[in-house]
């Protein structure tokens, strides 16, 4: 294999490694955000369930609220 071709392959490999690292960083940041959003959703759900229990509403929504309004 010629030196020129070998250098071209090394250069391509270096670019691929850089791209892989950049993509990995993006995926890591997205997963961190997803985890934070899941935690917030779980907190909100627990809070909603607590409010529903305090209000005497079973399942979080009363039967009259689950039915469409009469004009539908």
C-alpha 62/C-alpha 58 separation (Å) is 7
Residue 7 to residues 12, 15, 21, Cα–Cα distance (Å):
9, 12, 21
Spatial CB neighbours of 49, under 8 Å, sequence gap ≥ 6: 60
Distance CA 61, CA 53 (A): 10
Domain tally for the chain?
Answer: 1
Provide the residue range defining the domain that includes 42: 3-52
The answer to whether residue 58 sits within a structural domain is: no
What pLDDT, on a 0 to 100 scale, did the predictor assign at position 29? 98
Residue 67 lies in a domain: no
**Which stretches of the chain drop beneath a pLDDT of 70?**
57-66, 72
Output the pTM of the full model.
Answer: 0.61
Give domain status of residue 72, yes or no: no
Residues in the chain, total? 72
Please give the pLDDT value at position 46.
Answer: 94
């Amino acid at each position: 294999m010629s030196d020129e071709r070998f250098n071209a392959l090394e250069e391509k490999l270096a670019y691929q490694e850089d791209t892989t690292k950049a993509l990995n960083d993006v995926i890591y940041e997205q997963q961190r955000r997803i985890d934070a959003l899941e935690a917030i959703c779980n907190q909100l759900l627990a809070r909603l369930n607590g409010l529903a229990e305090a209000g005497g509403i079973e399942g979080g929504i009363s039967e009259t609220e689950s039915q469409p309004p009469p004009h539908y």
